[in-house]
Amino acid sequence: MRIGKKILIVEGPAGSGKSFVANHLATTIGAAHVASSLGKRGFDTHEEPALASAVNDYGKMLRAITVPEYVVVVERLILSQMVYGGLRDPDLPHNQYLSLGEHWVAERFNALIGMAISEVNWRLGPTFMDPEKLSLSILIVLPDAEQIEAQRKDAGKGYPWPAESERILYQMVAETLTARGADVLVFPNKNEAQLNRLTGAVSVWSRIHYSQLQEAWRPNR
């Protein structure tokens, strides 16, 4: 019998708290955690940073598919290539960039998943992974800009892009992908109560086959 996977992709601006949220969720619900990696993110594969991040994303997907846990939390996967590519190309208006990018993201997701499953099944046997049993959801950690800047200051690291610029693009990503039918949840990361509620929603999502994260997030659940 071929296995399935539930993968939660955690995205958000640098310094938004996504690594904390991803680690907290994985630890609390007993999921595998594929952490973020340092390095520039890009868009066009002709650019060296974009090629490096694409290779890195492929490695993350391979790991997510092959770890023994059924539920996997992955930090940064493809979406950030679109966001940071847009920030690095100031001559292209953001709305035009994202209009191009939403189609690119869907294509890249499909290509990345398809290649990873093909390689895993080639190496581990054709009955290892069932693509029909792979469920993807996206969580975007998106506090307000002031909270992000405060967290960046506490971290004591340098960040090349203003928090508000990253936040605007991630909000646009969430809206465009949601409009295309993706399972996307924007989390404000405001306080412990909200984090506990999110943990409960992810726990429900992880246990119910094909349930949507947005449905689990609703208060009546």
The full set of domains in the chain, from first to last, is 3-217 (3.40.50.300)
131 token code pair? 């693509």
Are residues 13 and 163 in contact, defined by beta-carbon separation less than 8 angstroms?
yes
pLDDT at 130: 80
Q: In 3-state terms, the chain is what percent helix, strand and coil (to 5)?
A: 55, 15, 30
Dist CA 67 CA 187 (whole Å): 26
pLDDT at 56: 81
- Phi then psi for 135, rounded to 5 degrees? -115, 125
What pTM was estimated for this model as a whole?
Answer: 0.85
pLDDT at 108: 75
pLDDT at 44: 47
pLDDT at 23: 93
Dist CA 55 CA 115 (whole Å): 12
pLDDT at 95: 53
Dist CA 31 CA 10 (whole Å): 13
Residue pLDDT tens, the chain, 221 long: 566 788 999 999 989 999 999 999 999 999 999 987 655 554 444 455 666 777 788 888 888 888 888 899 999 887 887 777 767 766 655 555 555 555 666 777 778 888 888 898 888 887 788 877 888 889 999 999 999 999 899 888 788 888 998 898 888 888 877 877 778 899 998 788 999 999 998 888 887 754 566 676 665 44
